[in-house]
Amino acid sequence: MKLRYFLLLAGFLMTINTDGLAQQGKHTFALGDSAFLLDNKPFVIISGEMHYPRIPREAWRARMKMAKAMGLNTIGTYVFWNVHEPLQGKYDFSGNNDIAEFVKVAKEEGLWVILRPSPYVCAEWEFGGYPYWLQNIAGLEVRSKEPQYLEAYRNYLMAVGKQLAPLQVNRGGNILMVQVENEYGSYGSDKEYLDINRKLFIDAGFDGLLYTCDPVAAIVNGHLPGLLPAINGIDNPEQVRRLIKANHNGKGPYFIAEWYPAWFDWWGTAHHTVPAERYAPKLDGVLEAGISINMYMFHGGTTRGFMTGANYNDRNPYEPQISSYDYDAPLDEAGNATPKFMKFREAIMYNLPVGITLPEVPKPKLAITIPPVNFTQTSSIFDVLPEPKTNAAPLTFEQLNQAYGFVLYRTEIEGGKSALLKIKELRDYGIIFIDGKRAGILDRRLKQDSLMLDLPAGKVRLDILVENLGRINFGPYLLKNTKGITEKVTLGADELKNWQMFSLPFNDISKVDLKNSQPAANVPVLKKATFNLQITGDTYLDMSNWGKGSVWVNGHHLGRYWEVGPQQTVYLPVEWLKKGQNEVVVLELIKPEQSVLQGLDKAILNVIKFK
């Protein structure tokens, strides 16, 4: 029997059915010289990444059945600090944040889990997974030995350990390995800091197999001696073996911790797609060589709410990511098999011993088109303002103890002149109003920070509605991630003072009191309506005629839309619809005249209207 057959047979028989070994008692999982050893037998990890917050809890099991049908034996997932500790010391492991239940469902479906709970995740996720409130602690530095950071990190990790340490393979669970930090070598090279991480994980109860992962150029900086160094972003078996051996005393096993068969998208750029034919042979080659692999992503899902991240560095502009995390992955945003899924399934099947078969691929989910929704209730954003906070200078989101959403900044200025309004370090998208009428828009993506204003005579009310489009999730600017008006506003030569700040986090749309009104032209609005369904199914809200905003259905924040593209639809999962009456709320920032919402039975993720 060829090595690949032996390795894959050992691994596959461990997970071939939900009543098998993956469900019985404790197991051992260890490093051999060239292969992983599960119960002292060689084991090849065939893993796919998918993230519990990006999938409705009600759909976790269905997505895992699809993973089994493609031939995966393992699921990889990050653990997201800002999801679980949104406020310092206040933990949330309920509902869609119930990571322990996610792991348990995987076990019931015969899948192992690779856990990635490091506080920094990147993942095209807001602030790379860090909670916003870290920035309110003076002197704190993420990814460092700074004591305040380590204390906050320890507290969080202890809470995670209570949830997940009992689910490790050596305690009868299905978590095979736990990752320490995340691509740290792309950020720093402090081995003492990495060792502190290792000790924190052990203190939190993660006493099984720990590993690090880094791309090729960063593996020397990011690897901690004594831990398995996994590699990201390559799939040449000889190169993988050489790099891991060079950083692991000449030994394996060999694990590609992130393999990218596609990529993510950001606003104003084309949808990224990669032909399956380019990557299926590479997957075949990796498996034939007996190398373990975790594809990023197997299923992306949707980054709902305001949790999208952004990229930025000194060479490139600010690039906020879209809400769809379709990723051109083998499983599409709704959880259906794609041609890439079928090609990868073929590659995996080719590497299985004769007589071993995969489960049948579940049929595509029902997709429906909801009837046109006519909005009859409209409320100006100026009619839902809470009590303001006041300060001489504008306060950031962080200073207002606000994580996400919007802040309306207001002050009075002397009119009767033309002058240049300049906002220093606007983050990230600002709509300017003079006496309640829109005067212009400033967009950080386009490096816009100033606007010429023609002011009427007398006292003039200046409003600036600022949206947080996502904190940076990668690179040195992790430490410079405050939101809102982060420095100052000038009009001509004068700095504007005496600000009111109205917090609009929109974290619970049911608590927003919508007053039916007749807003002035070009004023942001909230629109509410109901629609009735005879049957339920996955559907897509067509926002291509709308401007920019967010959508909620039955209280679930589905994510953002923006006419610039490439995403023109918002995915509405069947799990969050019901027969009979459903409620939809739209926050529209720039085209308040829109009054009809159309439905589609497929996504539009590849239409760019303008930058």
**Mean pLDDT of the region 315-328:** 96
Residue 365 in any domain: the answer is no
pLDDT at 21: 43
Residue 513 buriedness (CB in 10 A; 0-12 / 13-18 / 19+) = exposed
Query: Does 496 lie in the same domain as 527?
Result: no
Residue 41 in any domain: the answer is yes
- Confidence band of 10 (pLDDT split at 50, 70, 90): low
Please tell me the total count of domains within the chain.
Answer: 3
Distance from CA of residue 136 to its chain's centroid? 23
pLDDT at 12: 54
Per-residue 3-state assignment (H helix, E strand, C coil) for 533-569: ECCCCEEEEECCCCCEEEEEECCEEEEEEECCCCCCE
Query: Does 92 lie in the same domain as 176?
Result: yes
- pLDDT exceeds cutoff 80 at 603: yes
Query: Does 466 lie in the same domain as 438?
Result: yes
Give me the phi and psi of 479, to 5 degrees please: -90, 0
Lowest pLDDT segment from 18-22, 180-184, 442-446, 588-592: 18-22
Residue 130 in any domain: the answer is yes
> Percent of the chain beyond pLDDT 70?
96
pLDDT in tens, 401-444: 999 999 999 999 999 999 999 999 999 999 999 999 999 999 99
Residues 6+ apart with CB under 8 A from 511: none
Q: Under DSSP, is residue 404 helix (H, G, I), strand (E, B) or coil?
A: coil
- Confidence band of 213 (pLDDT split at 50, 70, 90): very high
Partners of residue 320 on adjacent β-strands: 310
pLDDT at 457: 97
Query: Does 568 lie in the same domain as 430?
Result: no
- The CATH number of whichever domain residue 419 belongs to comes to 2.60.120.260
- pLDDT exceeds cutoff 70 at 3: no
Helix (H) or strand (E) holding 12: helix 3-13
- 352: number of Cβ within 10 Å: 18
- Confidence band of 268 (pLDDT split at 50, 70, 90): very high
Residue 361 in any domain: the answer is no
* 60-70 and 339-350 helices, crossing angle to 10°: 50
What average pLDDT is seen over the chain?
A: 95
Higher-confidence position of 516 and 37: 37
**Mean pLDDT of the region 362-368:** 96
Q: Under DSSP, is residue 592 helix (H, G, I), strand (E, B) or coil?
A: coil
Query: Does 282 lie in the same domain as 223?
Result: yes
**Mean pLDDT of the region 559-574:** 98
Query: Does 23 lie in the same domain as 148?
Result: yes
Structure-token match 């393992």, residue found: 74
- pLDDT exceeds cutoff 60 at 605: yes
Q: Is the alpha carbon torsion for 244, 248, 252, 257 positive or negative?
A: negative
pLDDT in tens, 233-249: 999 999 999 999 999 99
Q: Are strands 525-533 and 539-542 parallel, antiparallel or unpaired?
A: unpaired
DSSP helix, strand, coil percent of the chain (3-state; round to 5): 25, 30, 45
- pLDDT exceeds cutoff 70 at 8: no
- DSSP string for 23-55: GSS---EEE-SSSEEETTEEE--EEEE--GGGS
- pLDDT exceeds cutoff 50 at 257: yes
- Confidence band of 355 (pLDDT split at 50, 70, 90): confident
**Mean pLDDT of the region 143-166:** 98
Residue 259 in any domain: the answer is yes
- 450-455 β-sheet, strand order: 450-455, 417-423, 489-491, 494-495
Distance from CA of residue 431 to its chain's centroid? 26
Query: Does 389 lie in the same domain as 346?
Result: no
- Confidence band of 11 (pLDDT split at 50, 70, 90): low
- DSSP string for 247-296: TTTT----EEEEE-SS---BTTSPPP---HHHHHHHHHHHHHTT-EEEES
**Mean pLDDT of the region 562-577:** 98
Residue 609 in any domain: the answer is no
pLDDT in tens, 516-556: 888 888 999 999 999 999 999 999 999 999 999 999 999 99
Query: Does 327 lie in the same domain as 228?
Result: yes
Helix (H) or strand (E) holding 203: helix 191-203
**Mean pLDDT of the region 342-364:** 94
pLDDT in tens, 168-178: 999 999 999 99
**Mean pLDDT of the region 360-387:** 96
Q: Under DSSP, is residue 146 helix (H, G, I), strand (E, B) or coil?
A: coil
- For 148, the token pair is 């305040």
pLDDT in tens, 50-106: 999 999 999 999 999 999 999 999 999 999 999 999 999 999 999 999 999 999 999
Please give the positions annotated as active site.
183, 258
pLDDT at 4: 52
The pTM score is: 0.96
- Chosen domain end from 504, 535, 561: 504
Residue 534 in any domain: the answer is yes
Query: Does 417 lie in the same domain as 336?
Result: no
Give the Cα separation of 89 and 86 in Å (integer).
9
- pLDDT exceeds cutoff 50 at 189: yes
Burial 197-222 (b: 16+ CB within 10 A, else e): bbebbeebbbebbbbbbbbeebbebb
- For 17, the token pair is 């059915």
Task: Say what the alpha-carbon torsion angle 589, 539, 75, 303 is, to the nearest 10 degrees.
Answer: 0
* 99-108 and 147-164 helices, crossing angle to 10°: 40
Give the Cα separation of 506 and 60 in Å (integer).
26
Are the C-beta atoms of residues 586 and 375 closer than 8 Å to each other? yes
Query: Does 218 lie in the same domain as 149?
Result: yes
Residue 487 in any domain: the answer is yes
Give how far Cα 551 sits from Cα of 231, 428, 450, 486, Å: 38, 20, 29, 27
Query: Does 148 lie in the same domain as 61?
Result: yes
- For 491, the token pair is 């009009």
- Chosen domain end from 504, 529, 561: 504
pLDDT at 597: 98
- Chosen domain end from 504, 533, 568: 504
Q: Which residue type does 598 have?
A: Q
pLDDT at 24: 62
- The CATH number of whichever domain residue 127 belongs to comes to 3.20.20.80
- pLDDT exceeds cutoff 50 at 1: no
pLDDT at 20: 41
- pLDDT exceeds cutoff 70 at 14: no
- Confidence band of 22 (pLDDT split at 50, 70, 90): very low
Query: Does 389 lie in the same domain as 321?
Result: no
Tell me which residue range forms the domain holding 288: 3-350
